[in-house]
Amino acid sequence: MIKFPTLGITALEQSEWPPYGKQRFFFEDMVNAAADLELNFFFFSPFDIYKNEIEGWFFDNGNWQRQKQKRPDLIYDRAFSALETERKELANFRQFLKDESLKVLNPVDMALLCDDKAAFHHFLQERKLPTLEVLPFESLATVGIFEKQFSYFIKPKSGSGGLGIYVVKKTQVGFALNNHLNDENWHFESLPLLKDFLSEKIKSAQYFIQPKAKIFDFENAPIDLRVLIQNQGGSNYQISGMALRQGQAGSNVSNLQSGGTALAFEEIAEWLEEVLHFSTSSILEQVKKISFDTCMAIEQKFGEFAEIGLDFLLSTEGPVIMEGNARPSRWVFNVLADRYQDEAEKSLIYKSQRAFSVKMPAVFAKNFAKLEKLT
């Protein structure tokens, strides 16, 4: 009997859409799409990684089934949480992956770099890749930082969905502060008062500040560009898809989790050319070059990896990288397919991008397992 390699996928179980919440649909689609790859899939909690025999899940013939098996030799890390206690446990899990030299689709240190937004910006700056300046939280007490820049983002080093982000702006009578959705606002006469207020709300050591880039809102809402780059093996990186994300009107963030939506790039192409004075093709070529240059820089530092999501701001200086995500979502392609469901050809494009992006981690895993002689 031929024994196929097993890809172990770590994720936290959810009560809504069990066993894995919205990720369940991604996992089911991946298993179905990879039916021709001679690869097994085993889903389990990252907190069970320390056991030699693990109880987890298989998905087969449309059903989720509980089963025990030995710890897989190849891991696809899809675990994340907003809870502080679970985040600490996940940090221990990833340290164990490193200590035991377990094979992971995205190297642990590469994923940790992406998790630390300030560190990722420094990584890009050192390699002269276009990104935004970052400053330590303590800089907020320095009035001089507002001489050239009137607005700053105050961001958590780790986090997602735009949660925990604040914006501070110098006004004629002091400093205004608002949250990521711009539905909570405060005003302070001095920076020390603002800094003291924030220090009570957040763990300042886990935050950094960033000049608010000169970007353009579309219909009074922030936009950014999500680019998904994936590797089928042999450093063959390719863009699986890209989509504009538009936040709610008046918001400071564009994340889907914070109420944003998705747009096709061509929907704002004419507007971008009028405002930025760049041709659409020029902007996209820049995004592609920066994306591949970033992948090569990451591989040179950490080794070959399976995928990354890069978020770009479209600024007056051209596209700049806002952040990287080593556990990227593909949900944006579903949103786009639904948005254009009355335009069959366009909707099919995004359905195809979703299908392709879902299968790619399995393709990389199969090729990686073959290279490493895993069974």
Quote the pLDDT of residue 280. Answer: 83
**Mean pLDDT for all residues in the chain:** 88
Quote the pLDDT of residue 344. Answer: 92
With bands split at pLDDT 50, 70 and 90, how would you rate the model's confidence at 186? very high
Rounded CA gap, 181 and 162, in Å?
Answer: 9
Quote the pLDDT of residue 1. Answer: 33
Quote the pLDDT of residue 20. Answer: 97
With bands split at pLDDT 50, 70 and 90, how would you rate the model's confidence at 114? very high
- DSSP one-letter code for 131: B
pLDDT at 214 over 60: no
With bands split at pLDDT 50, 70 and 90, how would you rate the model's confidence at 82? confident
Average pLDDT over residues 312-340: 90
Q: Where are the alpha helices (DSSP H) in the chain?
A: 23-33, 84-99, 108-115, 117-126, 191-201, 269-276, 280-302, 331-339, 344-372
In the chain, what are the domain boundaries? Answer: 6-104, 135-211, 216-371
Quote the pLDDT of residue 218. Answer: 61
Least confident of 268-272, 300-304, 362-366: 268-272
* Interval 116-141: pLDDT, tens: 999 999 999 999 999 988 888 888 87
| Contact indicator for 345, 229 with CB cutoff of 8 Å | no
Q: Nearest-CA neighbor of 226 among 247, 251, 244, 252? A: 244
Rounded CA gap, 129 and 107, in Å?
Answer: 21
With bands split at pLDDT 50, 70 and 90, how would you rate the model's confidence at 321? very high
CA distances from 333 to 215, 240, 346 (A): 24, 10, 11
Percent of the chain surpassing pLDDT 90? 59
Which of the two residues, 127 and 154, has the higher pLDDT score? 127
Quote the pLDDT of residue 278. Answer: 75
Quote the pLDDT of residue 143. Answer: 64
Quote the pLDDT of residue 151. Answer: 85
| Contact indicator for 125, 210 with CB cutoff of 8 Å | no
| Contact indicator for 54, 71 with CB cutoff of 8 Å | yes
pTM: 0.91
Nearest 10 degrees: Cα torsion 103, 7, 229, 78 = -90
Least confident of 14-18, 187-191, 292-296: 187-191
Quote the pLDDT of residue 252. Answer: 53
pLDDT at 220 over 80: no
CATH topology of domain 6-104: Rossmann fold (3.40.50)
pLDDT at 316 over 80: no
The correct CATH number of 216-371 out of 3.40.50.300, 3.30.470.20, 1.10.3720.10, 3.90.1150.10 is 3.30.470.20
With bands split at pLDDT 50, 70 and 90, how would you rate the model's confidence at 219? low
pLDDT at 31 over 50: yes
